[in-house]
Chain A
Amino acid sequence: MTERKNLFSLENEKELDIAWCPGCGNFGILNILKNVLEEMEEITPNNFVLVSGIGQAAKIPHYFKNNAFNGLHGRALPVASAIKMANPELYVVAESGDGDMYGEGGNHFIHNIRRNVNITNIVHDNRVYGLTKGQASPTSQRGMVTPVQVNGVILNPFNPIAVAIANGATFVARTFVGDIKGAKEIIKKAIRHKGYALVDLFQPCVTFNKINTYAWFNEHTYKLGEEHDPSDKMKALELAFQEDKLPLGIIYEEKGKPTFEEQLTIYKENKDPLFKRNVDLNKLESFINSMR
Chain B
Amino acid sequence: MKRTIKEEISIVLSGEAGQGIQTIERLLTFILKREGYYVFATKEYMSRIRGGSNSTEIRVSSKPVRSYTEGIDILMPLTKESVEHLGNRVTEETLIIADNESLKLDNKNIFDIPIISIAKEIGNTIYSNIVAVGVILGLFGIKTKTIEDYLRERFEGKGEEIVKNNIKAASEGYKLGKEFTDKGEIKVIIESDESLKDDLLISGTDAVALGALAGNCDSIFSYPMTPGTGVLIDLANFSKDFDILVEQAEDEIAAINMAIGGWYAGARSMVTTSDGGFALMEEGVSLAAMVESPVVIHLAQRPAPATGLPTRTGQEGLNLVIHSGHGEFPRLVFAPGTLEQAFEITQKAFNIADKYQIPVFILTDQFFVDSYYNVKKFDLSKIENKKYIVETDENYKRFDLSKAENGVSPRGIPNFGKGLVVVDSDEHDEEGHLTEDLDIRVKMVEKRLKKGEVLVEDYISPELFGNENYKYLVVCWGSNYNVVKEAIARIDNKDVAMLHFSQVYPLPDSTVKYLEKAKKVIDVENNATGQFAKLLRAETGINVDKKILKYNGMPFSVEELTAKIREELK
- Beta-carbon contacts of B380-391 to A below 8 Å, as 1s and 0s? 110101010100
**Given A61-B422, A107-B254, A274-B265, are A78 and B200 also a contact pair (CB < 8 Å)?**
no
Contacts of A86 in B (CB 8 A): 218-219, 245, 261-262, 265-267, 269
Measured in the bound complex, the distance between the Cα atoms of B217 and A72 in whole Å is 24
Question: In the complex the two chains form, is A70's CB within 8 Å of B250's CB?
Answer: no
A87: contacting residue among B200, B265, B283, B291, CB under 8 A: B265
Q: Which of B255, B259, B433 has the most CB of A within 10 A?
A: B433
Q: Is A264 engaged at the interface, CB distance under 8 Å to the other chain?
A: yes
Q: Which of B210, B219, B385, B423 has the most CB of A within 10 A?
A: B423
Q: Is A270 engaged at the interface, CB distance under 8 Å to the other chain?
A: yes
Measured in the bound complex, the distance between the Cα atoms of B310 and A32 in whole Å is 51
Complex interface residues of chain B between 417 and 442 (CB less than 8 A to chain A): 418, 420-426, 432-434
Contacts of B245 in A (CB 8 A): 85-86, 264, 266, 274
Complex interface residues of chain A between 42 and 68 (CB less than 8 A to chain B): 45-47, 49, 51, 54, 59, 61-62, 65-68
Question: In the complex the two chains form, is B213's CB within 8 Å of A275's CB?
Answer: no
Contacts of B30 in A (CB 8 A): 292
Measured in the bound complex, the distance between the Cα atoms of B247 and A278 in whole Å is 19
Question: In the complex the two chains form, is B214's CB within 8 Å of A82's CB?
Answer: no
Question: In the complex the two chains form, is B241's CB within 8 Å of A287's CB?
Answer: yes
In this complex, how many residues of chain A approach chain B with their Cβ under 8 Å: the count is 56
User: Closest residue to B250 on the A side, CB-wise?
Assistant: A111
In this complex, how many residues of chain B approach chain A with their Cβ under 8 Å: the count is 72
Q: Is B249 engaged at the interface, CB distance under 8 Å to the other chain?
A: yes
Question: In the complex the two chains form, is A284's CB within 8 Å of B380's CB?
Answer: yes
**Given A86-B267, A89-B415, are A111 and B218 also a contact pair (CB < 8 Å)?**
no
- Beta-carbon contacts of A5-28 to B below 8 Å, as 1s and 0s? 000000000000000000000000
Question: In the complex the two chains form, is A78's CB within 8 Å of B414's CB?
Answer: no
Q: Is B84 engaged at the interface, CB distance under 8 Å to the other chain?
A: no
Q: How many A-B residue pairs have CB under 8 A?
A: 203
User: Closest residue to A62 on the B side, CB-wise?
Assistant: B433
Complex interface residues of chain A between 234 and 292 (CB less than 8 A to chain B): 264-266, 270, 273-275, 277-285, 287-289, 291-292
Question: In the complex the two chains form, is B239's CB within 8 Å of A70's CB?
Answer: no
Contacts of A69 in B (CB 8 A): 261, 264, 291, 422-423
Question: In the complex the two chains form, is A275's CB within 8 Å of B266's CB?
Answer: yes
Complex interface residues of chain A between 81 and 120 (CB less than 8 A to chain B): 81-87, 89-90, 107-108, 110-111
Complex interface residues of chain B between 48 and 99 (CB less than 8 A to chain A): none
**Given A66-B420, A71-B257, A111-B254, are A85 and B262 also a contact pair (CB < 8 Å)?**
yes
A90: contacting residue among B251, B257, B414, CB under 8 A: B414
B170 to chain A, nearest CB (A): 19
- Beta-carbon contacts of A151-163 to B below 8 Å, as 1s and 0s? 0000000000000
Contacts of A281 in B (CB 8 A): 214, 380-381, 383
Contacts of A124 in B (CB 8 A): none
Question: In the complex the two chains form, is A289's CB within 8 Å of B265's CB?
Answer: no
Q: Is B287 engaged at the interface, CB distance under 8 Å to the other chain?
A: yes
Question: In the complex the two chains form, is A278's CB within 8 Å of B202's CB?
Answer: no
A291: contacting residue among B206, B242, B284, CB under 8 A: B206
Contacts of A46 in B (CB 8 A): 414-415, 418, 420
Measured in the bound complex, the distance between the Cα atoms of B260 and A257 in whole Å is 28
Contacts of A51 in B (CB 8 A): 261
A150 to chain B, nearest CB (A): 30
B270 to chain A, nearest CB (A): 12
Question: In the complex the two chains form, is A291's CB within 8 Å of B202's CB?
Answer: yes
Q: Is B477 engaged at the interface, CB distance under 8 Å to the other chain?
A: no
Question: In the complex the two chains form, is A90's CB within 8 Å of B265's CB?
Answer: yes
Measured in the bound complex, the distance between the Cα atoms of B244 and A281 in whole Å is 14
B96 to chain A, nearest CB (A): 32
Contacts of A270 in B (CB 8 A): 243
Contacts of B34 in A (CB 8 A): 292
B422: contacting residue among A47, A68, A273, CB under 8 A: A68
User: Closest residue to A45 on the B side, CB-wise?
Assistant: B420
- Beta-carbon contacts of B423-466 to A below 8 Å, as 1s and 0s? 11110000011100000000000000000000000000000000
Measured in the bound complex, the distance between the Cα atoms of B285 and A53 in whole Å is 16
A82: contacting residue among B239, B258, B380, B421, CB under 8 A: B258
**Given A47-B415, A85-B219, are A275 and B267 also a contact pair (CB < 8 Å)?**
yes
Q: Is B198 engaged at the interface, CB distance under 8 Å to the other chain?
A: yes
Contacts of B249 in A (CB 8 A): 78, 111
Question: In the complex the two chains form, is A71's CB within 8 Å of B219's CB?
Answer: no
Question: In the complex the two chains form, is A279's CB within 8 Å of B421's CB?
Answer: no
- Beta-carbon contacts of B344-383 to A below 8 Å, as 1s and 0s? 0000000000000000000000000000000001111101
Contacts of A47 in B (CB 8 A): 414-415
Q: Is A194 engaged at the interface, CB distance under 8 Å to the other chain?
A: no
Q: Is A34 engaged at the interface, CB distance under 8 Å to the other chain?
A: no
Contacts of B214 in A (CB 8 A): 279, 281, 284
Contacts of A78 in B (CB 8 A): 249, 253-255, 257-258, 261
Q: Is A75 engaged at the interface, CB distance under 8 Å to the other chain?
A: yes
Measured in the bound complex, the distance between the Cα atoms of B413 and A111 in whole Å is 26
Measured in the bound complex, the distance between the Cα atoms of B354 and A106 in whole Å is 31
A119 to chain B, nearest CB (A): 11
Q: Is B416 engaged at the interface, CB distance under 8 Å to the other chain?
A: yes
Complex interface residues of chain B between 197 and 219 (CB less than 8 A to chain A): 197-202, 206, 210, 213-214, 216-219
**Can you list 6 A-B pairs with a CB-CB distance of less than 8 A?**
A78-B261, A82-B264, A86-B267, A274-B266, A283-B241, A291-B202
- A interface residue numbers (CB < 8 A to B): 45-47, 49, 51, 54, 59, 61-62, 65-72, 75, 77-87, 89-90, 107-108, 110-111, 264-266, 270, 273-275, 277-285, 287-289, 291-292
- B interface residue numbers (CB < 8 A to A): 30, 33-34, 197-202, 206, 210, 213-214, 216-219, 221, 238-239, 241-245, 247, 249-251, 253-255, 257-262, 264-269, 283-284, 287, 291, 377-381, 383, 385, 387, 389, 413-416, 418, 420-426, 432-434
20 further A-B pairs in the complex, CB-CB below 8 A; given A71-B425, A281-B214, A285-B380 = A59-B434, A68-B424, A68-B432, A69-B264, A69-B422, A81-B261, A84-B265, A85-B258, A86-B269, A108-B250, A110-B250, A264-B245, A266-B245, A273-B265, A279-B217, A279-B385, A288-B377, A288-B380, A289-B377, A292-B33
Give the 8 A-B CB pairs with smallest separation, nearest first: A275-B266, A82-B261, A79-B261, A111-B250, A86-B267, A82-B258, A86-B265, A78-B257
